[in-house]
Amino acid sequence: RLFTYGSNKNSQLGHEDSDPSPVEGLENVRQVALGAFHSACVLEDGSLWTWGWGGGFFHGVGALGLGHSETQLRPSCVEHFRRENMKIRMVTCGAQHTVVLTEDGHLYATGKGDFGRLGRGDTNDEVDFHVIDYFEHTDDSILEPGDPARICKVACGENFSAAMSEQGELWVWGRNDYGQLGLGEEAMGDMYSAERFPRLVRALPLEGH
């Protein structure tokens, strides 16, 4: 069972108790991720559930991926993946975006799109999950040139994202004003510096890491 506690200003706990309490309606939880204003989990059956802040006029959409901007007091199943018979392997949350890795190795993202944190080349907000198709059309691997990257892990920072392949290579995208993407000084400019598509951190494999 899943227990949560702490701030519930944005309904991110999934219940209304101040003490550690179970999140009702969730059984056989495999993995959990927490954002700034929302929460998400994957069950053993591969279904994805999200809850918390849905969005607002001044701050843009939330990161629930439910097709609307309504705050969810309790966990709601992301039916998009269930309808397509897609199972989720892993979920990760940024401050206001969510990225998932499916069992068949595809990445999907939803939420606030500024700084390109959704990895699709634009800065549009999304209330549904959409595929990050960069890895389906690009073969920029250094360790296995010509072969598509087989993504096995994904993680989010406040407004950037990262994905690691089975080959051990790392791709990053999103805000880079403080060099948080690890791409070197040439990728840093000002407070608006960002990568809108996944970009391989070439220094790691080139140096033998």
Kindly list the averaged pLDDT for each block of 10 residues, start to end, along the chain of length 209: 94 93 95 97 98 91 96 97 97 98 97 96 97 90 87 97 95 93 77 90 70
Where does residue 161 fall: left (phi above 0), alpha (psi -120 to 50 degrees), or beta otherwise? beta
Helix (H) or strand (E) holding 49: strand 48-52
Neighbours of 178 (CB within 10 A): 9
Give SS3 for 144.
coil
Distance of CA 21 to the CA centre of its chain: 26
